[in-house]
Structure 1
Amino acid sequence: MTAHLGRKAVAELVGTAFLLMAVVGSGIMATRLSDDVGLQLLENSIATGAALIALIIALQPVSAAFNPVVTLVERVLGLIGTRDALVLIAAQMAGGAAGVVLANLMFELPAVSVSTTERGGAGQWLAEVVATVGLVLIIFGSVRGDRSRTVAFAVGGYIAAAYWFTSSTSFANPAVTVARMLSDTFAGIAPGSVAMFIAMQLLGGAIAVVLVRTLYPARQRALVAPDGDDATA
Structure 2
Amino acid sequence: MEQLNAWFTELLADNAIFTANTLGYYLDGLGNTVRLVFLSLVIGLLLAVPLAIARGSRRKWIKWPVFFYTYVFRGTPLLIQLYMIYYGVVFIEGIQDTILWVVLKDAFFPALIAFTLNTAAYTTEIFHGAIKATSRGEIEAARAYGMSRGLMMRRIILPSAFRRALPAYGNEVIFMLHASAIASVVTIMDLTGAARFVYARFYAPFDAFLFVAAIYLCLTFAILYLFRYLEKKLLAHLKPING
TM-score scaled by length of structure 2: 0.26
Higher helix share: 2
TM-score scaled by length of structure 1: 0.26
Larger Rg: 2
